[in-house]
């Protein structure tokens, strides 16, 4: 190859590498609902790949981050963990929960989700500093 052709070839190769985006095998799932996974009352976006999902939720009183795993992508059952902040319902600054969700269609489907969680709530400004309590929570939402 001549030098100008080599430069064009290298430039095309570098441009293609820089402009290409990685392929994701999963999908983003929007949802709305009530409970700590939705920031008390709000929205949640999950990135789901096969039987594993990571989510972020934000609502009128808080925010949440978490992960869930189902035995199989077609299963209605999902188990997970979540961290939430600023829950007015539980009078807490931070929540750390283990969760169980039942998907009325399936983990990979759209539709209603009923969930429960058990964990620890830390009250740092509304109660005595450092107060903690064990809580049980409920979630209800709809995956679009």
Q: What is the pLDDT along the chain (144 residues), one digit of tens a residue?
A: 555 566 666 666 666 655 555 556 789 999 999 999 999 999 999 999 999 999 999 999 889 999 999 999 899 999 999 999 877 766 678 889 999 999 999 999 999 999 999 999 887 655 555 678 898 999 999 999
pLDDT, position 49: 94
Contacts of 95 (CB under 8 A, 6+ apart): 36, 64, 82, 83, 84, 85, 87, 119, 120, 121, 122, 135, 137
Q: Per-domain residue ranges for the chain? A: 25-143
Q: What share of the chain is helix, strand, coil (3-state, %, to 5)?
A: 15, 60, 30
> How many CB atoms are located within 10 Å of the residue 94 CB?
17
pLDDT, position 1: 54
pLDDT, position 133: 86
Residue 97 contacts residue 119 (beta carbons within 8 Å): yes
CATH topology of domain 25-143: Porin (2.40.160)
pLDDT, position 43: 97
Farthest CA pair distance, the chain:
76
């Amino acid at each position: 190859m001549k030098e100008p052709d080599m430069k064009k070839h290298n430039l095309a190769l570098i441009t293609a590498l820089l402009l290409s985006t990685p392929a994701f095998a999963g999908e983003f799932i929007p949802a709305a609902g009530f409970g700590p996974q939705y920031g008390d009352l709000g929205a949640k976006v999950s990135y789901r790949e096969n039987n594993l999902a990571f989510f972020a939720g934000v609502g009128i009183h808080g925010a949440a981050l978490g992960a869930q795993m189902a035995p199989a992508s077609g299963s209605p059952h999902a188990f997970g963990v979540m961290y939430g902040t600023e829950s007015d319902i539980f009078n807490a600054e931070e929540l750390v929960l283990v969760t169980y969700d039942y998907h009325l269609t399936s983990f990979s489907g759209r539709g209603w989700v009923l969930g429960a969680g058990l964990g620890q709530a830390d009250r740092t400004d509304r109660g005595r500093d450092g107060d903690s309590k064990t809580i049980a929570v409920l979630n209800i939402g709809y995956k679009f």
